[in-house]
Amino acid sequence: MPATAPPILDFSPFYGTDAQAKAKLVGDVKNCCLHNGFFQIVGHKVPAELQERTINCVKEFFALPQELKEKVHKNQTTWNRGYENLGSQILEAGTQPDQKEGFYIGEEIPTTHSYFTQKKLNSGPNQWPVGLADPSAFQSTSMEYYKAMHALARDVLVVIAQTLGLAEDYFEKGFTKDAVATLRYLHYPPQQKDGDEKLKRGIGAHTDFGSVTLLMQDEVDGLQVWEKETSEWLDVVPTKGAYVVNLGNMFMRWSNDRYISNLHRVINKSGKERYSVPFFYSGNPDYVIDCLPNCRAEGEEKKYPPITVEGAVGGSYKASYGAAEAWKKELEGKKTGGAEVKVEAIAV
């Protein structure tokens, strides 16, 4: 059978009473988690109208004059909220900086909150742009969508718990309490059709850092998922209203590598502007990630020592920005005849 992009699963049985349909959903999700940790869902409860309003916010923000975007630059915070220029991150060693610009949003955490004072995982106040038609609508829509993503992530985790034979509320007992998550608005300008595919990426091949990612794509394609069985990149053709769901590195570690955090990338060769909205669910920063039950055969050792969510997610994040800085220094070095800086392989 030819390899296909992540299957589209109907999530609606999760909200219904049909036990057989629920069991099928759990079985399908399990197969995907074992295969490459990627699936797509329709039949969720996020209103299409809210998705559309959110995508409109994304487009309006990136259409702002550059100086207005830079007024809310994320470098003005140490907690990574706000605008990020094109080319700020390298997610694939050996490629040029990623051809995307972004805007980061998270929980509105006041500077008096312990998450802020203890510098927990990107926690702090958001930065909100000015110059939009209705700045307060941008803010309220963004936060409404952010909350809807939290709810959907928790529902997906209930199903994932069941795929491992765990109680439905397994993750709700601590992991999802006061959980940290990041919503990211992304814009990928069109890349030249004859561009060097090997070196230019919208986002270089990478795996995500956290537990689960929920991605809304607009109608322009470009996302590809690595298929290890056939060694090829499979296009994830956008399906209106669907979420691409994938497991991140922390979940893979948590499951003793039973479930997969898989490589994916974006190359925007469509000739059109591409927009997407990933939501990265990290979890409670103090929660300790230690091999989940039912993830080891009799007598099999744990592969990893326990680590907090903060420890697992925080480190990978820093590495990907360090690589882009190193690349820029290397260029400068070449121009001035200075010493070359080697771009390190990135552990993401």
Ligand X SMILES: O=C(O)CCC(=O)C(=O)O
Instruction: Return the CA Rg of the chain.
Output: 20
User: Among 187-195, 208-216, 230-238, 284-292, which window interacts with Fe ion (CB under 5 A)?
Assistant: 208-216
Q: Does 201 bind ligand X (CB under 6 A)?
A: no
210, 153 contact by CB (below 8 A): no
CB neighbour burial string for 79-89, b if at least 16 within 10 angstroms, e if fewer: bbbbbbbeebb
Which among 238, 234, 213 has a CA at the least distance from the CA of 224?
A: 234
Q: For the chain, what is the largest distance between any 2 Cα atoms, rounded to a whole number of angstroms?
A: 69
The least distance separating ligand X from the CB of residue 236, rounded to whole angstroms, comes to 7
Judged by CB under 6 A, the chain residues 49 through 68 that form the site for ligand X are: none
The least distance separating Fe ion from the CB of residue 29, rounded to whole angstroms, comes to 19
Binding mask 125-144 for ligand X (x = CB under 6 A): --------------------
Residue 212 interacting partner from Fe ion, ligand X, none (CB closer than 5 to 8 Å by kind):
none
User: Among 11-19, 109-117, 141-149, 215-223, which window interacts with ligand X (CB under 6 A)?
Assistant: 215-223
The least distance separating Fe ion from the CB of residue 215, rounded to whole angstroms, comes to 7
Q: Does 109 bind ligand X (CB under 6 A)?
A: no
Beta strands in 6-54, from DSSP E residues, in sequence order: 8-10, 38-42
Q: Does 276 bind ligand X (CB under 6 A)?
A: yes
Q: Does 208 bind Fe ion (CB under 5 A)?
A: yes
215, 243 contact by CB (below 8 A): yes
Q: Does 264 bind ligand X (CB under 6 A)?
A: yes
Judged by CB under 5 A, the chain residues 100 through 119 that form the site for Fe ion are: none
Residue 291 interacting partner from Fe ion, ligand X, none (CB closer than 5 to 8 Å by kind):
none
Q: Does 212 bind ligand X (CB under 6 A)?
A: no
Taking each helix axis from N to C end, the angle separating 48-62 and 135-163, rounded to the nearest 10 degrees, works out to 130
Q: Does 323 bind ligand X (CB under 6 A)?
A: no
Q: Residue 194: how many CB atoms within 10 A of its CB?
A: 7
Hey, which residues does 308 pair with through a beta bridge?
Answer: 288
By beta-carbon proximity to ligand X, the closer residue of 72 and 215 is 215
Q: Does 218 bind Fe ion (CB under 5 A)?
A: no
Q: Does 223 bind ligand X (CB under 6 A)?
A: yes
Say how many CA atoms lie within 13 Å of 45 toward its Cβ. Answer: 14
Q: Which 8-state DSSP code applies to residue 310?
A: H
Residue-wise DSSP of 79-121: S--EEE-TT----STTSPSPS-EEEEEE-B--TTSHHHHTT-T
The least distance separating Fe ion from the CB of residue 301, rounded to whole angstroms, comes to 30
Which residues contribute to the site for ligand X (CB under 6 A)? 184, 186, 203, 208, 215, 217, 223, 264, 266, 276, 278
Binding site for Fe ion (CB under 5 A): 208
